[in-house]
Structure 1
Amino acid sequence: MGGVKLVSTAQSLFCTRIQWALKLQGVEYELIEEDLRNKSPILLKYNPVHKKVPVLVHHDTPIAESLVILEYIDETWKENPLLPQDPYDRAVARFWAKFADEKVVFGVWTACSAEGEKKEKAIEAALESLEHLEKQIEGKKFFGGEQIGYLDLVVGWIPHWLNVMEEVGGMKLLKVERFPCLLDWGQHFIHTPLIKECIPPREKLVEYMSGSIRYFRSLAANKP
């Protein structure tokens, strides 16, 4: 197998999904915690382009970007396939994963950090994006069927991270009358023992996101 390392930060939803994937495949790895305010020589060596986490290092060869890493894990270790075998189903899973990262994550974060009229518009946009995921999970236990798969890992931040964003952003997005299937899926996912053991403590996420919001708002306030 060779040595496997994961350069990561505990609060990052993008990093946690990689831990979940490695654990699902039974891959032993060394976790290297990174301080993004003081980037280490290791991070700069393995990801000199973007200088961000996560980075998976396998046989001293780095792979960056979480969606790319998930596919690498799926293709390298075959114990529990993450992506569907059918080419069309694989393409659909990739489509929704890209949608989730570009629209849902960004939309929820914007709703969390914005203020005033911008916040109201951002909340509506975030709800619209979440409704697409609600339709995708209807009638299923997991997005991947009966077993946790690629798309479950990509959107697995929703049951924990989104709840924290709701708190620090002073909003409520996931209401049971609007998202019953997504909420039900979230409970199945988050209480899976292997998934649960990698989730960062809620209080640390609250502290981290509150600090991030203050930072982004200060940037916006000082914008010429």
Structure 2
Amino acid sequence: MAEEVKLFGIWGSPFSRKVEIALKMKGVEYEYIEEELGNMSPLLLKYNPIHKKVPVLVHNGKPIAESVIIIEYIDETWKHNPILPQDPYERAVARFWAKFIDEKCLPALWNSTWSKGKDREAAIEEASQHLNTLENELKDKKFFGGEEIGLVDIVASFVGFWFGALQEVSGLELLTEEKVPKLCKWSYEFVNHSVIKENLPSRDKLVAYLSARFADASK
């Protein structure tokens, strides 16, 4: 029986793009369904009634929500080209850093560009600390996963691609070669990896979209 794989996402969402990257790394064929921010389809709401957001992966009629959970499901379902390490301890470490990026780093980076006044100052300081933490974790590795892209790299795609566009729009300079050279080198290697490059949104389109949002927020 042919497997049915569907992915509900939004073109500019780093979360649905992470899942696309995992599917492409595995060579899994899937149908992509574009959702609209703020106006999710009845089907999406049916499949993800708790969080009511993308991404949602539907595999043979069974829905899975939340990007990191989906990536782990993909890795366990299609065994070739592993995304998580095979060693239990290394898997736990990868999960730890993925959680740190999603729960600590990403919100701080987002707030550093969108907050105002003293809130923004605090967010910039926090974001800078988190970027330094990632810088130290990289050490001399090409990717967080070593020589190959793994779970932490995929989860960190917001840092590697989206935050650069946010910096351009907001005028912030946190992710720079002067401040975090290893992270900048990782970012370059990551976004220019053949699989990643093909599965990122147009940077010009993303910058235009963010610029419009930034202009609206400044009014």
Aligned residues: percent identity?
51
Give 1:159 deviation, angstroms. Answer: 2.5
How far apart, CA to CA, are the structure 2 residues paired with 1:102 and 1:213? Answer: 23
CA contact (8 A) 1:111 1:169 kept: no
What residue number does 1:202 align with?
Answer: 203
Q: Does 1:17 align with 2:12?
A: no
Alpha-carbon RMSD across the aligned residues, in angstroms, is: 1.5
Give 1:36 deviation, angstroms. Answer: 2.1
How far apart, CA to CA, are the structure 2 residues paired with 1:175 and 1:140? Answer: 18
Q: Does 1:177 align with 2:171?
A: no
Could you say what secondary structure the match of 1:176 adopts? coil
Measured against aligned partners, the alpha-carbon deviations of 1:66-125 in whole angstroms (never above 9, x if no partner) come to 010010011001111111111111111111101101111100110000122322221111
How far apart, CA to CA, are the structure 1 residues paired with 2:141 and 2:167? Answer: 25
Measured against aligned partners, the alpha-carbon deviations of 1:194-224 in whole angstroms (never above 9, x if no partner) come to 1101111123222333444466678xxxxxx
Amino acid of the residue matched to residue 144 of structure 1?
A: G
What residue number does 1:222 align with?
Answer: none
How far apart, CA to CA, are the structure 2 residues paired with 1:211 and 1:38? Answer: 19
Measured against aligned partners, the alpha-carbon deviations of 1:114-139 in whole angstroms (never above 9, x if no partner) come to 12232222111101011111111111
TM-score w.r.t. structure 1 length? Answer: 0.92
Amino acid of the residue matched to residue 56 of structure 1?
A: L
What is the total number of aligned residue pairs between the two structures?
218
What residue number does 1:128 align with?
Answer: 129
How far apart, CA to CA, are the structure 1 residues paired with 2:208 and 2:194? Answer: 25
How far apart, CA to CA, are the structure 2 residues paired with 1:207 and 1:62? Answer: 33
What residue number does 1:27 align with?
Answer: 28
CA contact (8 A) 2:106 2:158 kept: no
- The runs of 5 or more residues in structure 1 that have no matched partner are 219-224
Residues 133-172 of structure 1: pairs in structure 2 closer than 5 A: 133-172=134-173
- The runs of 5 or more residues in structure 2 that have no matched partner are none
Instruction: Detail structure 1 runs of 4+ shifted over 4 Å in the superposition.
Output: 211-218
CA contact (8 A) 2:5 2:31 kept: yes
Could you say what secondary structure the match of 1:128 adopts? helix
Measured against aligned partners, the alpha-carbon deviations of 1:164-198 in whole angstroms (never above 9, x if no partner) come to 11122221111212211111111111111111011
CA contact (8 A) 1:174 1:183 kept: yes
Residues 44-55 of structure 1: pairs in structure 2 closer than 5 A: 44-55=45-56
What residue number does 1:40 align with?
Answer: 41
CA contact (8 A) 1:8 1:31 kept: yes
Q: Does 1:94 align with 2:104?
A: no
What residue number does 1:221 align with?
Answer: none
Could you say what secondary structure the match of 1:79 adopts? coil
CA contact (8 A) 2:109 2:163 kept: yes
CA contact (8 A) 1:24 1:80 kept: yes
TM-score w.r.t. structure 2 length? Answer: 0.94
Could you say what secondary structure the match of 1:157 adopts? helix
CA contact (8 A) 2:11 2:17 kept: yes
